[in-house]
A and B are shown apart, each in its own frame.
Chain A
């Protein structure tokens, strides 16, 4: 019970930390809205040309765009969440302090990142989504059950997103500089999450592959659950499966790092 309270406090801290920068948040909302508008028009043209592409109609494609803008910062799809700070702490050696704490390193960072995600969703994600719903045709469910299932997929998406970024951050124990892996993370995140195009609309065998990668758990799964394009239990199992595998991998890498690697001193 005490441990639960501790991680909750860390999560609340993560939330409040991001909530401090109000003007930056407002500016982010503006930018996401602008990009959403640009993307919506290109998608409408695409679905005009190919109705039913990826199993979506136009309204569903529009919904997908605005959900993408809503979750872009929330899921740190191109990076920029907890992993950035963790990398810096590994590089400078400050991570030694984190390892001294009588708490679990992975859960500590997970809690902080979930707090950040919760703020980014409420502070930065909801407004562009509502803007989209007001000015463009969208497909939104009316029954509460679907929204509840969608909320669970969001939590799992946030955990998978963290698990990927945590693995990448730990690589800095060996690489010492995160610039290259950050770039790779950014490219993979934007591409494989389906920020450019819904993964459903990727062509052929390539599409088959991208739809089973962990990034598919981030945007595609919540979108399909929200719009009723996939079974809820299947989607949740897919997300939970990747979450467990990736968190376990993070754990293994973490113990390898703390046993074998000498922390940078300064």
Chain B
């Protein structure tokens, strides 16, 4: 475990040093990343230029969901975001090299092409979250205040688990990186909008089957005092860390199964 973290730090550090060689290029790509990932919020602003509420939620409330979803996803993307290129390593056979090194494969794959430019997404997510926190109409209690960082961290872990599970799937399916995108990028997009917007079946699906709802929807509905479209017992408001732990376990099992199923191209 510690060996893996140390290896991750070393590999990530190497990529950071290499990207810092071209300072201007680095700054430009961070700004570009910020603009690119911020476009979804521009879309939301465009919608709210025409209406006062969406699915019964106001702009600050939607911004609260957006900030939480994007920040959590941004952290997972920074730490494990390069896993979506794993399929390419399967095809060209370079995955074999990772297997023979005396370092956990997950640490190597996670830190591969580690890119600080991804701080752009986290930055704009935090900016929107900060604005939302100042603009929402909420009676803040200690528990509600504490829920905010809990949501961001649990959310990051849940998205991280999706990245790892998706990578495991790519070991088997190779060319299917896009399927992973549907759950990672699709997931964070889904969570930017109020749950009341979506069909009941879809909300049930992301609450009970692929529990993305615990990234923000379920706890945020409680913080904002909005009813959640699917009836849930009260303790689920605080269940995000537990859900995150279960997701990690499941993703870990999937990753092991994927590694065992790996067949080299032989080239």
Q: Known: A183-B32, A190-B39, A197-B46. Contact between A46 and B54, CB under 8 A?
A: yes
Determine whether A37 belongs to the interface, using a CB cutoff of 8 Å to chain B: yes
Residue among A196, A201, A202 with max Cβ neighbours from chain B (10 Å): A196
Contacts of B28 in A (CB 8 A): 179-180
Determine whether B16 belongs to the interface, using a CB cutoff of 8 Å to chain A: no
B43 near A203 with CB under 8 A, answer no
Count A-side interface residues using an 8 Å CB cutoff.
34
B189 near A38 with CB under 8 A, answer yes
How far apart are the CA atoms of A235 and B33 in the complex, in Å?
A: 34
What residue of chain B has the Cβ atom nearest to residue A73's Cβ?
Answer: B178
Residues of A183-202 whose CB lies within 8 A of B: 183-184, 186-187, 190-191, 196-197, 201-202
What residue of chain B has the Cβ atom nearest to residue A28's Cβ?
Answer: B178
What residue of chain B has the Cβ atom nearest to residue A24's Cβ?
Answer: B175
B175 near A197 with CB under 8 A, answer no
A53 near B50 with CB under 8 A, answer yes
How far apart are the CA atoms of A26 and B189 in the complex, in Å?
A: 21
What residue of chain A has the Cβ atom nearest to residue B199's Cβ?
Answer: A41
How far apart are the CA atoms of A203 and B51 in the complex, in Å?
A: 11
Q: Known: A41-B197, A183-B29. Contact between A203 and B50, CB under 8 A?
A: yes
Q: How far is the CB of B20 from chain A (nearest CB, A)?
A: 16
Residues of A174-222 whose CB lies within 8 A of B: 177, 179-180, 183-184, 186-187, 190-191, 196-197, 201-203
Contact pick for A31, options B43, B51, B53, B178, CB 8 Å:
B178
Q: Which 5 A-B pairs have the closest CB atoms?
A: A196-B43, A27-B178, A183-B32, A27-B176, A23-B175
B190 near A38 with CB under 8 A, answer yes
Q: Known: A38-B189, A41-B197, A196-B42. Contact between A180 and B32, CB under 8 A?
A: yes
Q: Can you pick out 6 interface pairs between chain A and chain B where the beta carbons lie within 8 Å of each other?
A: A27-B179, A41-B199, A42-B54, A42-B197, A183-B29, A196-B46
How far apart are the CA atoms of A203 and B47 in the complex, in Å?
A: 9
Contact pick for A37, options B40, B174, B175, B202, CB 8 Å:
B202
How far apart are the CA atoms of A23 and B172 in the complex, in Å?
A: 12
Contact pick for A196, options B25, B39, B173, B178, CB 8 Å:
B39
B202 near A21 with CB under 8 A, answer no
How far apart are the CA atoms of A190 and B46 in the complex, in Å?
A: 14
B197 near A187 with CB under 8 A, answer no
How far apart are the CA atoms of A136 and B36 in the complex, in Å?
A: 30
B182 near A35 with CB under 8 A, answer yes
Contact pick for B173, options A23, A31, A201, CB 8 Å:
A23
How far apart are the CA atoms of A173 and B179 in the complex, in Å?
A: 35
How far apart are the CA atoms of A21 and B173 in the complex, in Å?
A: 12
Determine whether A237 belongs to the interface, using a CB cutoff of 8 Å to chain B: no
- Known contacts A23-B176, A187-B32; 8 additional CB pairs below 8 A are A35-B186, A41-B198, A42-B193, A45-B55, A49-B54, A196-B40, A196-B43, A201-B50
How far apart are the CA atoms of A96 and B239 in the complex, in Å?
A: 61
Determine whether A245 belongs to the interface, using a CB cutoff of 8 Å to chain B: no
Contacts of B176 in A (CB 8 A): 23-24, 26-27
Q: How far is the CB of B25 from chain A (nearest CB, A)?
A: 7
B202 near A41 with CB under 8 A, answer yes
Determine whether A34 belongs to the interface, using a CB cutoff of 8 Å to chain B: yes
B175 near A31 with CB under 8 A, answer no
Determine whether B267 belongs to the interface, using a CB cutoff of 8 Å to chain A: no
Residues of A16-69 whose CB lies within 8 A of B: 21, 23-24, 26-28, 30-31, 34-35, 37-38, 41-42, 44-46, 49-50, 53
Contacts of B54 in A (CB 8 A): 42, 45-46, 49
How far apart are the CA atoms of A180 and B27 in the complex, in Å?
A: 11
Q: How far is the CB of A120 from chain B (nearest CB, A)?
A: 13
How far apart are the CA atoms of A21 and B175 in the complex, in Å?
A: 8
How far apart are the CA atoms of A53 and B50 in the complex, in Å?
A: 8
